[in-house]
Amino acid sequence: MLLMSSGRFDPSSSDGVWSGAFSDRVTQRSPHYSLAQSLGASNKGNYGSNSGGLTFVSPIGMSSGGKIAMEIEKLAESKSTGRCAAVSREAIEQALGISIPRTNSAKDYGPKLEAVGFREVTDGQNRPGDVRVIQSIEGHPHGHMQIYTNKGWMSDFKQRDEWPGEAYRNAKPNYKQYRLGD
């Protein structure tokens, strides 16, 4: 089926948004409808006519940080699995199509992230795709690695806040935050 559209896509925009109306050949039974919905589409009108529109965030124009955040959201469980570094690394690799060298501990990932283009940031802002590497504390010798999303911090699980648990929340260990420069 041919997908006809009118509208525009601005690849230079920070969120990669495309807006436009689809032809009346796109229906709810269409594979294009399913694809658009899976990409975060919102129905701004009637899919069955040119009077309505569809807006979605396209992975093509999405920032690298946005892609990383989208991947970690897919991979994060409701509770910790003890694989924070592995899952965070996998999200970055899948989002960017790269390979990051492994380490034995989450707390040691900083130089590995810098080697693939991340840079340490100290601006106090959290942006989707930012990676935080937290140092070890008593009872947690490997530290922690997590990624910021618009839904908060995530790693192998969806965290309630910036700390991966009560022990980290109480100890407030040192950490470094990294961002990929797009």
In sequence order, which residues have a C-beta less than 8 Å from that of residue 101 and are 6 or more positions away?
Answer: 112, 115
Same domain, 105 and 166: yes
Same domain, 81 and 170: yes
Confidence at residue 121, expressed as pLDDT on a 0 to 100 scale: 97
Same domain, 53 and 68: no
Same domain, 164 and 79: yes
Predicted confidence (pLDDT) per residue in 133-170, tens digit: 999 999 999 999 999 999 999 999 999 999 999 999 99
Same domain, 120 and 98: yes
Predicted confidence (pLDDT) per residue in 21-45, tens digit: 333 333 333 333 333 333 443 333 3
Taking residues 65-76, what's their average pLDDT?
97
Q: Per the structure, how many domains does the chain have? A: 2
Going by the DSSP 8-state scheme, the letter that residue 20 receives in this structure is E
Same domain, 71 and 157: yes
Same domain, 101 and 165: yes
Confidence at residue 62, expressed as pLDDT on a 0 to 100 scale: 79
Which pLDDT band holds residue 53 (cuts at 50, 70, 90)?
very low
Quote the domain boundaries for residue 29: 5-57
Confidence at residue 22, expressed as pLDDT on a 0 to 100 scale: 35
Separation of alpha carbons 84 and 98, rounded Å: 18
- Position 17 pLDDT exceeds 80: no
Domain end point (choices 37, 57, 77): 57
Same domain, 163 and 97: yes
Confidence at residue 94, expressed as pLDDT on a 0 to 100 scale: 97
Asked if 22 and 54 touch (Cβ cutoff 8 Å), the reply is yes
Q: What is the 3-state secondary structure (H, E, C) of 119-172?
A: EEECCCCCCCCCEEEECCECCECCCEEEEEECCEEECCEECCCCCCCHHHHHHC
Nearest to 83 by CA among 142, 171, 163, 150: 142
Which pLDDT band holds residue 61 (cuts at 50, 70, 90)?
low
**Where residue 147 sits, what CATH number does that domain have?**
3.90.1720.10
β-sheet bridge partners, residue 78: none
Nearest to 47 by CA among 5, 8, 9: 5
Same domain, 163 and 118: yes
Same domain, 53 and 74: no
Average pLDDT value over all residues in the chain: 77
Confidence at residue 181, expressed as pLDDT on a 0 to 100 scale: 80
Task: Locate 26 and state its tokens.
Answer: 């796109």
Same domain, 15 and 88: no
